[in-house]
Amino acid sequence: MATAKIAITIEEDVLNRLDLLVKSHTFPNRSKAIQEAIKEKLNKIENNRLERECLKLTPEFEQALADEEISSEIEEWPEY
C-alpha cells in the first residue's frame, strides 16, 4: 500500500508516552504506532456511525422493506 510522509504537531507528554511504547518494543517505531492509532480511531468512528444508523431502524420498518422487495420480486417468479 502506498504511504505518504506528513508532519504532525503532538503534545510532549503524548510523545513521551509514545516513545516509551516504542522503547518497550510495543511498536517498531513512532510511525507505525501513529498509523495504528489513526486506523483504530477511524474504525471506531465508522463503527459508531453504522451503529447510529442501525438504531434508526425498527422491526416494523425492516419488515415493510422486506415485504416491499418480496412483492416486487413475486411478479418475476415463474409459476409452478
The pLDDT-based confidence of 71 (bands split at 50, 70, 90) is low
What confidence score (pLDDT) does residue 68 get? Answer: 73
How far apart CA 63 and CA 80 sit, in angstroms, is 26
Is residue 12 pLDDT above 70, yes or no? yes
Place of cell 498509523: 35
Q: How much is the average pLDDT of 10-29? A: 97
Question: pLDDT class for 70, splitting at 50, 70, 90?
Answer: low
List the domain boundaries for the chain: 13-74
Structure pTM? Answer: 0.60
